[in-house]
A and B are shown apart, each in its own frame.
Chain A
Amino acid sequence: MKQRQRGLILALAPFVLMVLAFQVVPVFSMLTGSFRHADGAGFTLDNYRHALSSAYYLQAIKNSLLISVFSSLIGLAVGLVCAYCITRFAPAVRDRLLMLSNMTSNFAGVPLAFAYIILLGNNGVFTLLFKQWGWNVFDGFNLYSWSGLILVYVYFQIPLALLLLYPAFYGIREQWREAAALLGAGSWQFWKTVGLPVLSPAIFGTLGILFANAMGAYATAYALVGGNYNLLAVRIGSLVAGDVVTQPQMGSTLAVLLALSTLLAVFLNQRMVRRMEGFGGRSPARRERSSGLFRRRWPAVREEAGQ
């Protein structure tokens, strides 16, 4: 019996050790760091006070929040329309379309920023081409600014939104529509009173994931604008691993703030997916298990919530 116990513990020990070393200790270190003075000693709330009062950091937070909210809302809107459209196709076409959008969701980070630089950067193909043709659609457009960032963020939000939303549309049964039609409801009335309420948990849940996704996005922004645009993630990066002066304590504080916002958003997603279960039938999470070997970023969150 004793040997049995020892065997089990031996099997678990490396896992516990790795998680402690690379997950628990770093989080703990970040938390304590955020409460340390700049010289690394003592306990203080100064970092938080500073982060939430300095115009510079406030701007970073504001920019990040704005870009996340905007890109999520646009991504969500496009995702909703396209997710609905996708359900209108025959299964074979639908699967191909989903595969294509899934494929493009691999196209993120540095390569994506890079593709946009080729297309729309200062010497981008389209920039030059349109100049040549005398079109001035891109006058006043600057890829390395707010509008460019939004454009690139939206690009990686749309496939994610689509992939997260389309299963929810299958929760809406054809019979409900028929029943509503029999009772005299028009298509618009059906969506307003039945469709949207049923979809709403999925919509809010997806919004949470998109928001977290945009808040945490670093590679794309960094590759596009370097340190030139004041975003929270970029600011954190330069505070702890910059080439000039590092301020790990301040970086930890901002990181804690960023993590709080993404944790909150993911928490919202979990709550909403759980509520989705309440409608019974096919939940997004359950469908996932059969079709979703390929879901890149968020499968476990949703499976977890699907419990």
Chain B
Amino acid sequence: MNIRKAGVAPRTFMLLLMIYLLLPLLATGLYAFAQDWQNTLLPRSWTLSWFRGMFQDIRFLEALWTSLYLCIISVLLSLAVMLPAVFVITVYFPRWESFMKGIVVLPYAVPGVVAAVGLIRAYSSGPFDISGTAYLLVGAYFVVILPYMYQGIRNSLLSVSAVELLNAAELLGARRRSAFVNVILPNIWPGVMVSALLSFSVLFGEFVLTNMLVGGHIQTIQVYLFRRVGESGHLASAIAISYFVFILLLSAVLMKLGMKIKGQAK
């Protein structure tokens, strides 16, 4: 790896890019702390009252709670469904993998609006009338995080050479189920945690499906934010910034975990 010194042009371009990318964030941050910001470059006086208001707003806390438990339930459900399925496919039916990948990649190519249309049509009448309920949303969330979960679990399985591990365990007399639970699972756990956290953060930022499927009945943090935008800009900034900081913290944890896994692999 040769260390180059960047010239003037690249430096200027990157500086401009970073200003451009960080400016909206910065402004939102300032706005969340600003008391009086009318016609000066920087706010005249600062306050924490918007944050206080945020934590005193019972609807905000409810929305936060709703978001948290919906996302956690969806991720747990996805783990429970995907772990055995990806394991079985990768180890016993590798021929089906390309088919599986096709299914799993689809959510990338199909925008949320389109997915919501199908879900609303399929479940707003007939034998399964679950429109507007958390069940429908959890199902939709399951599909949203399919690619992340699949990719994460599969990569972990491949990187610990699950097939060889399993063969060794079975050779030593372990039954398949106990081999899976005692040998494979502990080995792939760090990788699986990363995909689970990543999925969680994706779901936490989800707005389209949530608003279209259950917006009238269930308020997640994003739906709540959307509703508040028109009311108080300062309060909404405080919420947006807190949300962003939360996602950043989550990313930092993810990064740490990722590096740890990489370190182990070496």
Report the separation of the CA atoms of residues A33 and B118 in the bound assembly, to the nearest whole angstrom: 9
Partner of B108, one of A91, A109, A236, A300: A300
What secondary structure prevails in chain A residues at the interface with B?
helix
B162 within 8 Å of A (CB atoms)? no
Tell whether, in the assembled complex, residue B121 and residue A22 are in contact, meaning their CB atoms are under 8 Å apart.
Answer: no
Contacts of A53-102 to chain B: CB distance below 8 A: 78, 81-82, 84-86, 88-91, 93, 97, 100-101
Given A300-B147, A301-B105, A301-B108, residue A114 in contact with residue B225 (CB < 8 A): yes
Provide the B175-191 mask, 1 if CB < 8 A to any CB of A, else 0: 01100000000000000
Q: How many residues of B contact A (CB 8 A)?
A: 99
Given A8-B92, A304-B101, residue A233 in contact with residue B113 (CB < 8 A): yes
Contacts of B140-158 to chain A: CB distance below 8 A: 140, 142-143, 146-148, 150-151, 155
B35 within 8 Å of A (CB atoms)? no
Report the separation of the CA atoms of residues A219 and B82 in the bound assembly, to the nearest whole angstrom: 28
Chain A contacts of B201 at CB under 8 A? 106
Tell whether, in the assembled complex, residue B119 and residue A22 are in contact, meaning their CB atoms are under 8 Å apart.
Answer: yes
Tell whether, in the assembled complex, residue B205 and residue A106 are in contact, meaning their CB atoms are under 8 Å apart.
Answer: yes
Tell whether, in the assembled complex, residue A97 and residue B18 are in contact, meaning their CB atoms are under 8 Å apart.
Answer: yes
Chain A contacts of B172 at CB under 8 A? none
Tell me the nearest residue of chain B to A84, going by C-beta: B10
Provide the B14-33 mask, 1 if CB < 8 A to any CB of A, else 0: 10011011111101100100
Report the separation of the CA atoms of residues A251 and B119 in the bound assembly, to the nearest whole angstrom: 12
Tell whether, in the assembled complex, residue A15 and residue B28 are in contact, meaning their CB atoms are under 8 Å apart.
Answer: no
Tell whether, in the assembled complex, residue B118 and residue A29 are in contact, meaning their CB atoms are under 8 Å apart.
Answer: yes
Report the separation of the CA atoms of residues A127 and B99 in the bound assembly, to the nearest whole angstrom: 52
Chain A contacts of B122 at CB under 8 A? 25-26, 28-29
Binding site for A on B (CB under 8 A): 1-7, 9-11, 13-14, 17-18, 20-25, 27-28, 31, 37-41, 80-82, 84-85, 87-89, 92, 101, 103-122, 124, 139-140, 142-143, 146-148, 150-151, 155, 176-177, 194, 198, 201-202, 205, 207-208, 211-213, 215, 222, 225-226, 229, 233, 236-237, 240, 243-244, 247-248, 251, 254-255, 258, 262
A-B CB contact pairs (8 Å), 21 listed: A18-B142, A19-B146, A22-B119, A25-B122, A85-B11, A97-B18, A109-B207, A111-B225, A112-B24, A114-B28, A115-B25, A118-B28, A128-B39, A159-B21, A217-B111, A240-B212, A248-B117, A255-B114, A259-B114, A263-B110, A301-B105
